[in-house]
Amino acid sequence: MENSVGYDKIKHLVEVEEHILAVFTMNTNGTMGNLNIAKDIDLDKNHIESIFSILQNSQDKVKIDNNGETIKQLGKIKWKIFEFERFRILQIFDRETVIVLIKANTSLNETVDNILGYYYEEENIPKSLF
């Protein structure tokens, strides 16, 4: 899968921002790609694959009502945040799903706000998400 501009921006943040542990993508088939792990951290590809398995299992399923019809959703979610004891997962939904692993001991409004602001730089998003 070809990298999007948004993914390339987050990949750059992994290289320069100490609070971001890794970034990777998930394609429409549910497979992982484009893994980029920050240097000098205690995290390897096996850890990332375990986290990816959790994400695969947590994907929202299409809801179907009793008549077999798809239940309409109000809109498209652009991002989700999962919080764990040691890290946070920011999942950004775009042409491809971009997953960002963030240290847990950081302020959400400093890290996630900055990441999303950088990712959606050309769109109009709220000044503060929190």
Query: Looking at residue 35, which CATH number applies to its domain?
Result: 3.30.450.60
Decide if pLDDT at 1 tops 50: no
**Each residue's pLDDT tens digit, 108-118:** 777 887 888 77
Evaluate whether residue 50 is within a structural domain.
yes
Bin 122: left if φ > 0, else alpha if -120 < ψ < 50, else beta. Answer: alpha
pLDDT of residue 66: 58
Evaluate whether residue 128 is within a structural domain.
no
Evaluate whether residue 68 is within a structural domain.
no
Q: How far is CA 3 from CA 38, 47, 125, in A?
A: 18, 22, 23
- Terminus-to-terminus CA distance in the chain, angstroms? 33
- Name the domain count of the chain: 1
pLDDT of residue 97: 86
Whole-model pTM: value is 0.73
